[in-house]
Structure formats: structure tokens, C-alpha cells
Amino acid sequence: MTTAEAPPANPVGFGRMTRKEDARFVRGKGTYVDDVVLPGMLHGAVLRSNLAHARIVSMDTSAAEAHPKVKAVITGKTLEGLKLAWMPSLSHDVVPVLATDKVRYQGQEVAFVVAEDRYSARDALELIEVDYEPLPPVMDAREALSPGSAVIRDDIEGKADNHIFDWEAGDRSATDQVFERAEVVVTQDMLYPRVHPAPMETCGAVAHMDKVSGKLTIWCTTQAPHAHRTLYALVAGLPEHKIRVISPDIGGGFGNKVGIYPGYVLAVVGSILTGAPVKWTEDRSENLMSTSFARDYHMHGEIASTRDGRITGLRVKVLADHGAFNNTAQPSKFPAGFFHVFTGSYDLEAAHCEVTGVYTNKAPGGVAYACSFRVTEAVYLVERMVDCLADELGMDPAELRLKNLLRPEQFPYMSKTGWEYDSGDYPRALRLAMDIAGYEQLRAEQERRRRAPAPQGAPAPLMGIGVSFFTETVGAGPRKHMDILGLGMADGAEVRVHPTGKAVVRLSVQTQGQGHETTFAQIVAEQLGIPPEDIEVVHGDTDNTPFGLGTYGSRSTPVSGAAVAVAARRVRDKARLIASAMLEVDPDDLEWEKGRWFVRGNPTSARTIQEIALAAHGPLELPEGVEGHLDAQCVYDPPNLTYPYGAYICVVDVDPGTGVVKVRRFVAVDDCGPRINPMIVEGQVHGGLADGLGMALMQVIAFDTDGNCLGGSFMDYLLPTSMECPSWELGETVTPSPHHPLGCKGVGESATVGSPAAVVNAVMDAIGVRHADMPLTPAQVWRAMQGRPLRTDLALA
Amino acid sequence: MQVTMTVNGEQVTRDVEPRLLLVHFLRDDLGLTGTHWGCDTSNCGVCAVWMDGEPVKSCTVLAAMASGHEIRTVEGLEREGQLDPVQEGFIQEHGLQCGFCTPGMMMTARYLLDRNPHPTDEEIREAISGQICRCTGYENIVRAVRWAARHAAAGQAREEVSAP
Ligand code: FES
Ligand code: FES
């Protein structure tokens, strides 16, 4: 007897549906970059600097070259000859592919070996002799601008300090006035330490230059294949139509795979020089030490309010540690990304922020980590400041938030720093989170525990409740304001219905696990009534998809989702004209019902989308001006960003003897507009919550003052496991975006943005300390309880 | 040196370097790329396979040490075109996103369920605690294993029905 449940039928449109891509993944049949094998393929390995700051005096590669299995050794000198030693960064700076003059961080690329197999390539690295003259490393961002500091970027003509940029937003004098008048002002310094996205798959590439056709094919761990193609064309002077970037299955991105790393370029150069395909896969230490970090913001916040808790102003000064090269991925106009959304979810009178970027001897990058362009830092700042204010006023933090949240009737809301929030009902989301959590009961329990007499033996755990409310700023972005290296942030999509009524949709964006092959089929299904299993989603291959800037900053659904919806609606409009010819009626007499056009008042007189598709390819005489076939495309230039939001509540128990934090519960209410596939949305939120918990409690890339990276392996860079994560409790509200064709706002990064503050707020609530910097490791919590929290970015003697 | 082992029921013999890791042997020599590699320090577990019925991290085993032993990888989970309930559970409960940790997670889950057909959530979390997932926040992995536990009987029944 079998009792197997019949799987529920897929929705023709939005709704819960298992993922199309899973069939290959659960069988171990995915194709990740390191799974790509080409005939005659060679393997590359990178020699990296062990010093953070040093001049290269000389390099001897002869022994490596003599290794019997080595095919090529590439150094900065080789690249200088090819004019490839430096490449443009994503922020109008330059980045070395291989160091020529100096090394500027530990782990920087110094030489590249191409050999017959992985192990020989690594062996040969040991045979390269580099003579370094050590220079004083600049490891403390707070000292980077001190007059005595070593100058890191002496490659830039005339550069005499480590300053990168000053930038500000908001109204300085209005803000100063608010602060002068304020009844209460609370000031707090806080660090959002350097963290790393650490996707389970490290970065890698397989490059193949076909000498005969002149075509370069690169399989690459990239979240933005089209942008990469254009950059390769610009950097290497290769013709763009002869470059094909394939981003196959990607083992997680989280921003780590947005940029172009030297290893990718070196695989390309290796293939050009040897004539064979070259694979390069970095190891975990290389990934953690050299690829894009996130955050590293030293923030000085001030919040102003009335004595009864009406927040009036916010003022922030930030020192931004960008590492040795300014390579953050931000729209050109915004050197601090979207940090100026730091007024968060509150109605203030005035706000102002200043950000100063500095160079240090650390890895460059600053691409995201599931953070829409520094929104995570902004949300962390404001949500910590609000808790500091609650502490000062002796007010309940949830009550203080409810008092100050934007009200539904204020939308669309123009923030004091120039953002137009699209839609929201914030108090409803917070109240829902409080209901799910049982906020009153939790506070009552906390009160009871605090009053309970101290037990014998081990001290009782300290209970803490943390609240955070976030507004995200995603879906970048309107092309007249936003570009990356001059490429506008609009994305293309194409929808084609085949003669038999099956369809294909081609995307510029790419999945690293978000489930595009399913959700984008559902978007087309919703618009056309074609079942999602009949729709193939093509993505991640520049030869087969339209141009666009890729997947990061939660932009796939807000930008490409809109492009696909619009293209599908164009298909529907065209189908109407064809149906009118088939039914010999005026198009205006036709009405749409999911999957078919029918004659108004006569529903049996109808043509399904499948019948129309066949007719569109057949001998039917088409109406004037209608070309055959059934397809359409769209390049979507978003009119505004989208603003998903949410309310999070975290409950922790802290062991006062050891400082160990246990997250007991975590409630997350998210509003991302309508949910195309609720199962996938929930999965995105779960993952982001674990990310946020990890950053709050465990993860940090710190350095010692000699320049050594202290987070270069998973033994030192701790990621949350199943034991640290609670069973997440989710809730939702739905407030559609008025300007997005589907009302969708994007969700990928929401939980990562919103959750760290909830965890930190909970721990501070438990231990009765106003502030201690992340990560709240047992040592940090214990020290904070003794009134001497650590500085977490540097190991100071 | 020569190694001989049984991989997913088939005997294989290859000449390898003594230092070759089992994970690279499976991936590069046998083309079984379902087993992944994710760290240098034996921390992440995306490389988990079975050796003689016990989960091991294949990045921490030399191919030479596996010689003479029986290896089972993710490619060996499906039997006669029938997905293991664990595989089905990961699909049904959205226990995977990027899929990179998934093969290792499923191998551990199968091991757990073979010994403890009705584990508690705590036991499931404990069983996968040596493996890292960056995408799912673990909740749906726990649900996927629970799904597999619930449907194990049905899965076996299906096998019996389909047997000749
Ligand atoms: S590869 Fe990370 S534990 Fe084996
Ligand atoms: S599904 Fe991506 S690491 Fe687990």
C-alpha cells in the first residue's frame, strides 16, 4: 500500500510552489563553476602577500617556472607589459591585478601560476621568492588620517594622506538648530565591524580563449554577468561581442560575487598566454582575506528628542574604512551608498550625516553582504540610537517606536535626506510583531525574573527583549540617478511564447539561490495564464540574455521582475490583437481572463493563449501592423526605489557568568508587498535572520596592529550553525508598492538589514548596558557587563 | 599509488598521488561533482559523504585512506529512479536555496534517520551542527528532515510496490 500524498498542483501564477531548480540540486547535478571541466584545462593558483604593507624589492620565479608541470608564471611585470597590471575599481579608483610596486594588504595578489593540476599549481607557489621591504601598516581607521601615518596609495600622483572622500547629506544648519533646541540629546559611538559574506562556494572562474574564433568564454562566480562582460571589454580591450560570461549555478553570493577579482582576470590572462582553458578556484582563506568585505563603519550618532519621547533630529558622523583601494560597489553619485537613509522609519524634523572614507592596509571591497548599499549600517545606527534614547528616557523601546513611526497617511513620504518612501503601514507591522511575540507577557516575565530572589549556585540567566524596525531601500535604480561605472541600473527581459504555447523568458539577472527559475516563471504565469512548468527561465549567460546589471541589493524582483511583468503584458496585448483576428471581432470587444481572451458577454467565444500562440506562427492573416510570432521585450527603468520594511523582536537569555548569549526566540514581520512565492520569501527571510544573528554575535574580520587578518578561516571567522539559530517565527503584512507593476518590493536583504539591531538591543536590554559593539561574543558581553567593552576591530596590545 | 574503493555500489580503481584528498578524488577523478568543497579547516561540511556507512568530511580523508572502503555520495541517494525521502523533503520544505551545502546536509540527514527514524527538532539540529548553510537559516532544513521522517514509511512502501 502506498500512502504518498499527491503533490499539490502548481499555481498558475503567484502562490506556494516548490522550486524548479531543486530537481538538479538534490541529485548533486548542479553545475557550479568548479564543476566545469574542459578538455586540456589547466589550473591556476595565486601567490599572495603575507605582509599588509611592504615594498616589493625583487621577485624570482625561475624555480617555479622550472617545475615540470608549470605552464606559465605571471607576475605584475608580465601584466605591465600587457597593460593589465591595474584595473578600474567599481568606485572610480584603480585596483592592481597583481602588485607591481607595493603590497597594500595581507592576502593581496602577487603572482599567478598556471599548471597541469590543482596541487602542482600550489606546489609551484612555494618556489617563488619575493623579497619585501616591510613598511608600517595602517590598521586603525581612526589613525589613518593622522599626520604621521604612512601613505598607502603613493601610486596616486601627489597623494600625501589616506583620505578618499568626504560626503554629506541632509540639512546641516536645520539639524544643528533642532539639536540646540532639543530637550534631550543622546550621543553614542558605535562600530559596525568588518564582516564577510562567506558564501559556501568560494569565488572562481574557468576562462577559455579560443584562438581561432577569438572568442573568450568565462564561467564565473558572478552576480552580474553582463556588467562583468562590459568591464572585461573595457579593461582588456577585448571586443565585447567576443566575450561570453556564463554564470552557472552559484553557491551563494550575498554581494561577495558582484565585483571582478584579480583571480578572474588572471584566469583569462592565463588562458590567453597558454592557449588552454584555465580554472581558478580560491580557497577559503583567500576568500575571507582578499575578497569583498562589508561594513567597517565607525559611527558617531546623536539623537534629539523632547522629554516625552518625540524624536526630532538625528546627526551622524562616519569614518568609513574602505581598505587599500576604494572598490565598493555603489552607484557613482553615492560614495557612501544609501547610508543617508539613516533616518530610518521615523518622522523627524531634520537630519544630517557626514561620511569620510579612508584607506587602510586591509582588503578592499565593501560590496554589500546582503545589504543594499550600506542600508544595513544606517538601520543599525538608527535602531541602536532609538534604544539608547529609550534607555535615557526610561521608556519602553516598542512604545518609543510606536510614538515616532511614520504614519500610513504620510506616504508617499519624502525623508529629510531626500528619499521618497513609496508605501507603508509601519505601526501595523510593529503591532503584529508584538502580538506574535506576546510582547506584554514577555515584559511581565522579564520583570518577574528580575525580581526573583537569586538562586543558589549558578546565577540565573538574564532575559532581554530587543525590538528593531527597518525600512529598506532597494531596487536600484532610476537610471538618471544611478549607475555603476557609467552603466545605468536598468534591466532587460524578453518573453517569447513558442508555437505550442510553451514559453521562454530571458533575464539579465541571475540566481545565487533565490529561485529565479521558479519565481520568474510564476510572474509570466500570472500575466499569461501559462502554467509555470511550461515556462523556461534562461539566465546567467550573456550570449543568451538581454543586458542588465545583475542580482544584488534585492533588485531582481523590483527591477527585473517588473521588466518581465511588462514584457508579458505586452505579449498579452499582442495576443489580444491576434485573438481579434481569429474571432473576427474588434479587439475592444475582448476581455482577458487568466489564460484566454474572450468576447465580452459571450465567454464561450474565446481563444486560449496557446491557441493564439499557434495562430501567431501560422497562416492566419494578422491585423494591420501586427508582426507574426508572440513575443515582447522590456527594458525597465525603475521610476523610484522600493521600500520594503519590517518589525523584528528578539528574545535572548544571557549567562551572566560566561557572557554566552542564547537567542530564545526571534519574531520577524516583513512587508515586501505581494509575495510571488511565499515559500521562497520565507526562505529568504530565514537566511537573512541567520546572517544578522551571526553578525550580531559571532562574525568579525579583525586585524592585529601588524596587519595580520584575524578572520582568515572558519576556525576564526565564526558563522552561525543550526545550534545558534532559533526556530524563526514569521509574520507578514502586505502593502503594495504603488509604482511597481506587481506591487512587489523585494525581500532578499531585508532580514539581514533589520535583524542585527534586534539582537544587540536584546542583549543590551538583558545586561543593562547602553552599548557594546558587535560581535557580542561571550568575551565581549562579559566585558561589557564589567563596564569595559572591547574594541572589536583591532587586537590592541 | 593505486586506490580501489566502492563508490555508490561500483568498484573503482585509480592511480593517485598519496596526498590526494577524497573530495578531490570524487570530484576530479570520478566526476562526482555533487560533493562540494567549501573550507580549508574541516569546518563547513559541504563535503560530507559516507565511508562504510558513517558520515565523514571528505576534505579530511585522503583517497588513500578510503581505499578498500565503501563510499556513498549524494549521487547514490536516489535508488532506481526514486528519490530518497530526504531529497523529496528538501524539495517540499524548501530546505535548500543555492544548493551548495545540500548534498552534505542530506547525507547527514539520511544517516540520522537510519538510526533515529523519528528525531526531535533538537536531534536534527544537533545532527547537522557540524555543517554550515549560509542561505536557509536552518529552519527549513529541519522541516525537510522532519518531512522525510514522516514520509519514510510511504517511501519504503513505494519501493515495495515497485519491486517486481
Ligand atoms: S570542505 Fe569544509 S569541511 Fe570539508
Ligand atoms: S543552501 Fe546555500 S549554503 Fe545551504
| Distant-in-sequence contacts of B115-123, Cβ < 8 A, 24+ apart | B117/B149, B117/B152, B118/B149, B119/B145, B119/B149, B121/A727, B121/B146
Nearest CA to ligand 1 atom 3: B42
What per-residue confidence (pLDDT) applies to A368?
Answer: 65
pLDDT category of residue A104 using cuts at 50, 70 and 90: very high
Q: For residue A693, which of A669, A658, A728, A659 has the smallest C-alpha distance? A: A728
What per-residue confidence (pLDDT) applies to A550?
Answer: 86
Q: Which CATH class is domain B2-76?
A: alpha beta
Ligand 1 center to B47 CA (angstroms)? 5
Q: Residues A359-377: what's their mean pLDDT?
A: 84
Q: ipTM of this predicted complex?
A: 0.96
Q: How many CA atoms lie within 13 A of B23 on its CB side?
A: 22
Q: How far is A282 from chain B (nearest CA, A)?
A: 10
Q: Which residue of A has its CA nearest to B73?
A: A28
Give the single-character DSSP code of B126. H
- Cβ atoms of A222 and A205 within 8 Å: the answer is no
**Which tens digit of pLDDT belongs to each residue from A648-662?**
999 999 999 999 999
What per-residue confidence (pLDDT) applies to A2?
Answer: 41
Q: Residues A583-605: what's their mean pLDDT?
A: 97
Sign of CA dihedral A160, A162, A167, A168: negative
Using alpha carbons only, what angle is made at residue B117 by residues B111 and B119, rounded to the nearest 5 degrees? 90
Give the three cell numbers for residue B132: 554550515
Instruction: Provide CATH code, domain B85-162.
Output: 1.10.150.120
**Which tens digit of pLDDT belongs to each residue from B128-160?**
999 999 999 999 999 999 999 999 854 444 443
A26–B126: do the CB atoms touch at under 8 Å? no
Q: Quick check: A454 pLDDT over 90?
A: no
Instruction: Out of A124-133, A365-374, A599-608, B152-161, pick the least confident.
Output: B152-161
Q: Quick check: A428 pLDDT over 90?
A: yes
Q: Considering only CB atoms, which chain B residues are within 8 Å of A198?
A: 134
Chain A, 16-75: which have a CB under 8 Å from a chain B CB?
Answer: 18-19, 21-32, 34-35, 37
HEC string for A712-772: CCCCCCCCCCCCCCCCCEEEECCCCCCCCCCCCCCCCCHHHHHHHHHHHHHHHHHHCCCCC
Decide: helix, strand or coil at residue A315: strand
Work out whether strand A703-704 and strand A794-795 pair parallel, antiparallel, or are unpaired: parallel
What per-residue confidence (pLDDT) applies to A237?
Answer: 85
Q: Which stretch of DSSP H or E encloses residue A160?
A: none
A35–B27: do the CB atoms touch at under 8 Å? yes
Q: Quick check: A491 pLDDT over 50?
A: yes
Residue B55 Cβ contacting ligand 1 at under 6 Å: no
A2–B158: do the CB atoms touch at under 8 Å? yes
B41–A283: do the CB atoms touch at under 8 Å? no
Give the single-character DSSP code of A504. E
pLDDT category of residue A5 using cuts at 50, 70 and 90: low
B138–A719: do the CB atoms touch at under 8 Å? no
Q: How far is A694 from chain B (nearest CA, A)?
A: 10
Give the three cell numbers for residue B148: 522525510
Interchain CB contact of A118 with B (< 8 Å):
yes
pLDDT category of residue A234 using cuts at 50, 70 and 90: confident
Residue B45 Cβ contacting ligand 1 at under 6 Å: yes
Q: Residues A32-60: what's their mean pLDDT?
A: 98
Residue A26 Cβ contacting ligand 2 at under 6 Å: no
Give the best residue of A1, A200, A203, A663 to mutate against chain B (max B CB count within 10 A).
A200
What per-residue confidence (pLDDT) applies to A370?
Answer: 63
User: Percentage of residues in chain A with pLDDT exceeding 70?
Assistant: 98
3-state class percentages of chain A: helix first, strand second, coil last, to nearest 5: 30, 25, 45
pLDDT category of residue A552 using cuts at 50, 70 and 90: confident
What per-residue confidence (pLDDT) applies to A507?
Answer: 95
- Give the distance from CA A251 to its chain's centroid: 14
What per-residue confidence (pLDDT) applies to A6?
Answer: 59
**Which tens digit of pLDDT belongs to each residue from A272-318?**
999 999 999 999 999 999 998 999 999 999 999 999 999 999 999 99
Q: How far is B68 from chain A (nearest CA, A)?
A: 24
Residue A461 Cβ contacting ligand 2 at under 6 Å: no
> How far is residue A247 from each of residues A231, A237, A251, A367, measured CA to CA in Å?
15, 21, 11, 18
Report chain A's mean pLDDT, rounded to a whole number. Answer: 95
* Domain residue spans of chain B: 2-76, 85-162
Instruction: Out of A160-174, B7-21, B77-91, B148-162, pick the least confident.
Output: B148-162
Ligand 2 center to A682 CA (angstroms)? 15
**Which tens digit of pLDDT belongs to each residue from A694-741?**
999 999 999 999 999 999 999 999 999 999 999 999 999 999 999 999
What per-residue confidence (pLDDT) applies to A369?
Answer: 67
Place of cell 571528505: B58
Q: Which residues contact B164 (CB under 8 A, 6 or more apart)?
A: none
Chain A, 282-301: which have a CB under 8 Å from a chain B CB?
Answer: 283-285
What per-residue confidence (pLDDT) applies to B163?
Answer: 36
**Which tens digit of pLDDT belongs to each residue from A191-210?**
999 999 999 999 999 999 99
pLDDT category of residue A371 using cuts at 50, 70 and 90: low
User: Percentage of residues in chain B with pLDDT exceeding 70?
Assistant: 93
Nearest to A683 among B136, B158, B161 (CB): B136
What per-residue confidence (pLDDT) applies to A795?
Answer: 87
Ligand 1 center to B128 CA (angstroms)? 13
**Which tens digit of pLDDT belongs to each residue from A603-626?**
999 999 999 999 999 999 999 999
Q: How far is B158 from chain A (nearest CA, A)?
A: 6
